[in-house]
């Protein structure tokens, strides 16, 4: 990974789900501007995330990765970003308490503006136009002008992502992430919903732990600030290539559009442009594995992207569906583990569980989401491997996009606040309910693993030193 292939070399390879720009000169002018802009993230931050993911792979940490299905430019507001961040921090706090290991917090944020679609066009009332592919490519309004693939939107990705990252950095270091405030959000959820006694007990346990630390005088900065990383699917080759920079410390390429970049289920071809780009950057790489993936597929792409088997480099994000997770996942994990690799394993319980309702809404059932998560934990328990994290599409808003959950949303409720730009997301209460359920699984696993993880020894005391006669 000492050099970066040119964009023209990448474009000569198979590349699925790319925009169809009409004016090559316009594209070139936009890319020249992007290449001259400062990085959005820094190489040292990327290295830190890779180290954290190596800890996850060793079973010493857990990942929470979440955010919008598809970000929108108009969604870059302080209120929207803060609500999303609040949900993720709330989820992470209960998971940390339950697992008693650090939770690595990664947002689907500051770059998740493009989405592959199953059909390149859509038809309404006999009119056929290009499909909406995310704000990175075209607009959601069903007009020829809005649906044009516009390269100027690549610059807007950059500026929107920069604004989002500025907000996130200010929030996580400016008191918003204070653990005591985060806990109050969880306690309010547990006490004012019908989530059940077990959630309230967990919230009260965290409250007791915080009171204990306060009584001991613990006031560490880690209680008030957090590390928060940004990730997105590296779908748009022009954008990712233009944001890749050579690090002055190592002379190696880093994609500075985000800390972690993932390859989607539809673009993980071994001979494709996406894999070629990803194998030449230093970022941690996520790989989505759907129900058609085999162990051989996983091993082959891991060997292609990470021939040196660097800790923290590879994260497999499985999305096989609730009905198939217990059937399909064991063979994939066993096949990879037999090679001696220790990747990070993350469950995406969203993408394999989408269906259309009788009234025409694309949705997901909270029950199915929970079932895939439980299946993921069960399989790893069966194999003796570490269930390293979850990858969830969510929002901090009280939307009605997924059925079920603590508020018992049903199909007729979906029309009330169905606001997603693409796929249905868990709302605030559904996200917190999922966090409490995952926390219970982590707590059960911690009890079973007690004695297997190293416990720090107390500092030595010199016998007789400075003791009274």
DSSP-assigned letter for residue 111:
S
- How many other β-carbons are positioned within 10 Å of the β-carbon of residue 272? 17
Domain assignment of residue 204, yes or no: no
Q: Cα angle vertex 411, ends 414, 141, to 5°?
A: 35
Range of the domain at 19: 7-177+225-443
Distance of CA 28 to the CA centre of its chain: 31
The answer to whether the CB of 313 falls within 8 A of the CB of 306 is yes
362 annotated binding-site participant: no
Residue 183 in tokens = 């806990």
| Distance from C-alpha of 412 to C-alpha of 405, rounded to nearest angstrom | 15
Torsion, Cα 144 12 300 380, to 10 degrees, reads -20
pLDDT band at 461 (very low <50, low <70, confident <90, very high): very low
Domain assignment of residue 253, yes or no: yes
Domain assignment of residue 262, yes or no: yes
351 annotated binding-site participant: yes
393 annotated binding-site participant: yes
Domain assignment of residue 33, yes or no: yes
pTM: 0.91
249 annotated binding-site participant: no
Domain assignment of residue 185, yes or no: no
Domain assignment of residue 469, yes or no: no
Domain assignment of residue 377, yes or no: yes
232 annotated binding-site participant: no
Number of domains into which the chain is organized = 1
Q: Cα angle vertex 170, ends 221, 30, to 5°?
A: 140
- DSSP H helical ranges for 2-68: 7-11, 24-36, 43-57
Q: What is the pLDDT of residues 415-424, one digit of tens each?
A: 999 999 899 9
pLDDT(62) > 90: yes
- DSSP H helical ranges for 67-110: 78-99
Residues 6+ positions from 327 with CB-CB distance below 8 Å:
none
Domain assignment of residue 248, yes or no: yes
Q: What is the CATH number of the domain that holds 337?
A: 3.20.20.70
Residue 89 in tokens = 């921090």
Q: What is the pLDDT of residues 363-411, one digit of tens each?
A: 999 999 999 999 999 999 999 999 999 999 999 999 999 999 988 999 9
């Amino acid at each position: 990974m000492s050099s970066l292939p040119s964009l023209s070399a990448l474009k000569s390879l198979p590349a699925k789900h790319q925009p169809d720009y009409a004016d090559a000169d316009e594209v070139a002018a936009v890319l020249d501007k992007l290449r001259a802009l400062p990085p959005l993230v820094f190489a040292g931050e990327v290295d830190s995330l890779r180290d954290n993911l190596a800890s996850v792979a060793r079973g010493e940490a857990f990942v929470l990765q979440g955010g919008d299905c598809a970000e929108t430019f108009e969604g870059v507001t302080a209120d929207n970003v803060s609500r999303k961040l609040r949900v993720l921090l709330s989820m992470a706090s209960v998971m940390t308490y339950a697992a008693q290991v650090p939770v690595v917090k990664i947002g689907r944020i500051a770059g998740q503006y493009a989405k592959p679609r199953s059909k390149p066009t859509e038809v309404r009332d006999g009119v056929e136009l290009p499909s909406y592919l995310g704000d990175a490519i075209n607009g959601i309004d069903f007009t020829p002008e809005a649906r044009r693939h516009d390269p100027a939107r690549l610059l807007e990705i950059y500026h929107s992502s920069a604004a989002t990252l500025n907000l996130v950095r200010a929030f996580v270091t400016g008191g918003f992430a204070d653990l005591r405030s985060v806990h109050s959000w969880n306690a309010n959820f547990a006490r004012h919903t019908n989530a059940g006694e077990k959630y309230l007990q967990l919230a009260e346990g965290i409250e007791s732990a915080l009171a204990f630390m306060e009584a001991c005088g613990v006031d560490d900065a880690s209680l008030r600030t957090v590390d928060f990383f940004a990730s997105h699917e590296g779908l748009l080759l022009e954008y990712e290539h233009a944001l890749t920079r050579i690090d002055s410390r190592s002379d190696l390429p880093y994609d500075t559009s985000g800390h972690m970049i993932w390859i989607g289920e539809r673009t993980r071809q071994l001979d494709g442009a996406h894999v070629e780009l990803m194998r030449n950057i230093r970022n941690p790489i996520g790989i989505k594995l759907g129900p058609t993936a085999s162990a051989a597929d996983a091993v082959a792409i891991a060997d292609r992207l990470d021939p040196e088997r660097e800790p923290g480099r590879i994260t497999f994000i499985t999305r096989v569906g609730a009905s198939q997770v217990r059937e399909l996942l064991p063979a994939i994990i066993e096949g990879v583990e037999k090679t001696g690799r220790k990747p990070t394993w993350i469950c995406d319980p969203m993408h394999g569980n989408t269906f259309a309702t009788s009234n025409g809404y694309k949705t997901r059932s909270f029950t199915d989401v929970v079932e895939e998560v439980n299946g993921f934990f069960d399989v790893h328990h069966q194999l003796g491997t570490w269930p390293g994290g979850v990858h969830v599409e969510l929002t901090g808003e009280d939307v009605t996009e997924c059925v079920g959950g603590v508020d018992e949303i049903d199909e007729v409720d979906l029309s009330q606040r169905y606001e997603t730009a693409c796929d249905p997301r868990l709302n605030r209460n559904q996200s917190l309910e999922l966090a409490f359920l995952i926390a219970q699984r982590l707590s059960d696993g911690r009890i079973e693993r007690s004695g297997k993880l190293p416990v720090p020894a107390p500092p030595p005391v010199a016998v007789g030193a400075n003791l009274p006669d």
